[in-house]
Amino acid sequence: MSALSIRGLAKRFGEKIAVDGISLEVPAGSFYGMVGPNGAGKTTTLSMATGLLRPDFGTALIHGVDVWAQPLAAKKLMGVLPDGVRLFDRLTGEQLVTYSGLLRGMDRDVVGTRVSELLAALDLEADAGSLVVDYSAGMTKKIALASALIHAPRLLVLDEPFESVDPVSAANIRGILESYVASGGTVIVSSHVMDLVQRMCSHVAVVAGGRVLAAGSVDEVRDGSTLEDRFVQLVGGGHRTEGLEWLRTF
């Protein structure tokens, strides 16, 4: 069974078609990357697939559970780090992650143990008692990730999880996610960093204009070239520097 099955998802905002009938199968146990230019429809697709934004058409299944027909059952199976995450930032970091666990009905002692371990793994122990509103952008991203991990979901959906995160923390997060996938979990990550996706992911989908241009294993999609080169080939654009002859320092 697929960890996530997206079938014909579509969304329109006024006259703009943001997502145009996207269908994807994310294999269970995979590290799946979703890449595309700004405005490609990645965030809208993931929001619909995780129950944050109601689609105009189509369905999304998490391990066979319909996200919109059975929202509570589906959301128990996943942890989500959405784009532009908004948190209860007047809580401390420790309180926020604790709240996330208790909100899901977890035992308080179990939550306490997991919170301590997550804060240590994400190098947030020293700031556990600080209000989230005072966190840097990178720290906020990490505490939001801890909140998504607290209940050990079967599927993690992460929108730009490495944005604003320093290289050391990014390496720690990659290690956590790789161990999670090795234990049977599934990760879907949206990112603009092609090299990172190529090194980290087993599967990838290239999205542009609200449609899937290519999907499959990373090797299948990149087809003998780098993922970045293949992405540019699929999406179009390339480098255009005409008219900048004046931009010289000599």
pLDDT digits (tens, 9 = 90+) for 107-160: 999 999 999 999 999 999 999 999 999 999 999 999 999 999 999 999 999 998
Say how far apart CA 114 and CA 102 lie, in whole Å. 12
3-state secondary structure at position 90: coil
Q: Is 205 domain-assigned? A: yes
What is the predicted pLDDT for the residue at 194?
Answer: 87
Q: How many domains does the chain have?
A: 1
Q: Is 112 domain-assigned? A: no
What is the predicted pLDDT for the residue at 239?
Answer: 62
Query: Across the beta sheet with 2-13, what order do the strands follow?
Result: 16-27, 2-13, 57-62, 65-66
Q: Is 82 domain-assigned? A: no
Q: Is 185 domain-assigned? A: no
Q: Is 16 domain-assigned? A: yes
10 DSSP assignment: E
Cross-strand bridge partners of residue 186: 155
What is the predicted pLDDT for the residue at 205?
Answer: 96
Residue with tokens 């604790």: 98
Which residues of the chain have a pLDDT value below 50? Answer: none
What is the predicted pLDDT for the residue at 243?
Answer: 76
The amino acid at 176: I
For strand 155-159 and strand 78-81, is the pairing parallel, antiparallel, or unpaired? parallel
**Residues of the domain holding 28:** 1-77+193-238
Cross-strand bridge partners of residue 4: 26, 62
Q: Is 155 domain-assigned? A: no
What is the predicted pLDDT for the residue at 237?
Answer: 67
Q: Is 25 domain-assigned? A: yes
The number of beta carbons lying within 10 Å of the beta carbon of residue 63 is 17
Q: Is 19 domain-assigned? A: yes
CATH code (residue 202): 3.40.50.300
- Give the pTM: 0.90
